[in-house]
Amino acid sequence: MANLVTAGIDASKDHLDVAARPGGAFRVPNDPDGVADLVARLQAVRASLVVLEATGGYEAAALAALLAAGVPAAVVNPRRVRQFASGIGQHAKTDPIDAAVLAHFAAVACPPPAAPPDGDRVEPATLPDRRRQLLGMRVAEGNRLRPGLPAAIREGIEAHVARLDGQVEAIDKQVAAAVRRSPAWRERDRLLRSIQGVGPVVSHTLLADLPEPGTRPPGKLAGLAGLAPFAADSGRKRGERHIRGGRREVRRALDMAGLAVARVPGPLRDFAQRLKAKGKASKVVLIAVARKLLVIAHAVIRDGRAWDPKMAPAA
């Protein structure tokens, strides 16, 4: 990206530290006025790519505003950026330094920009996060139910679990209603749920957390979902391949679908059984089935056609 301006943004709860290459550095508040100022400044320098780290949501407002304004922006895994910083000898870590490293990373790695915001995505994309939080709380409460608890404590825990179950059910209904209101989401949901093993939870997770199927090649999608094996070779040694990174919730959903589909008659179970017959470990089989499901999801969305068992290629 020679002669083009790249920028990095280190996002925190209160501030956005920004660095541009070439250009300068500045800080704005992480609030609506600050984000508006950020967008105006980056538009003024004609930033060709802006990179932010995934920080658990502190980067969300800036990312949405940049994309809405037509400024290409990408969100990357913080570990990847930290490894890059170590590789260039930058071991110090402050917010302005992190922003400068992100701008350098943008110029060297050129990560693909995120998709422009879709107004129909806002509500459905936030609800699955809350559903996962509630399920986590439910598991924690369930683990506290052990023999010997006083009756009053047991009753309180059971009542809390029941309330959490009710909230999860309510969110499921809200997500389903939000999907029905959006023609684009409704069609993608129909296509995804035509795939054997993909139910409403898996479909809604893919809709909210992985909008790229149909627009990115399968290999890139596998990397985004954490289902791409990485080599570990050195000289004559051929190391075992491992998967890592990616969007944890997407991989978890595809793993769940893979477990389900490998148990029912169909081409995907046949695929799993062929891998087992070759001596593949159960974990390897599950990853392969999950990746196959992702490839099928990409195909049905790309082509706009419901799944046909013949679309599951033999391997």
What value, to the nearest 5°, has the Cα angle with vertex 154 and ends 148 and 159? 165
pLDDT at 242: 57
* pLDDT at residue 217 in the model: 81
Among 1-15, 127-141, 145-159, name the most confident range: 145-159
- Residues 166-181: what's their mean pLDDT? 85
Q: With 90 as the cut, is the pLDDT of residue 23 above it? A: no
Domain positions in the chain are 5-109, 120-181, 200-234+241-311
The per-residue pLDDT of the chain, averaged, comes to 84
Please give the pLDDT value at position 1: 45
Whole-prediction pTM = 0.60
Confidence check: pLDDT of 284 > 90: no
As a whole number, mean pLDDT of residues 46-55 equals 90
Model confidence at 25: pLDDT above 80? yes
- Which of 83-121 are b and which e, b meaning 16 or more Cβ less than 10 Å from the residue's Cβ? ebbeeeeeeeeeeebbbbbbbbbbbebebebbeeeeebb
CATH 1.10.3450.40 fits 5-109, yes or no: no
Report the range of poorest mean pLDDT among 7-16, 109-118, 161-170, 295-304: 109-118
Which pLDDT belongs to residue 7? 95
pLDDT exceeds cutoff 60 at 153: yes
* pLDDT(81) > 80: yes
The pLDDT confidence band at residue 19, using thresholds 50, 70 and 90, is very high
Q: What is d(CA 100, CA 106) in angstroms, rounded to the nearest whole number?
A: 10
Residue 98 has pLDDT above 90, yes or no: yes
Report whether pLDDT(176) > 80. yes
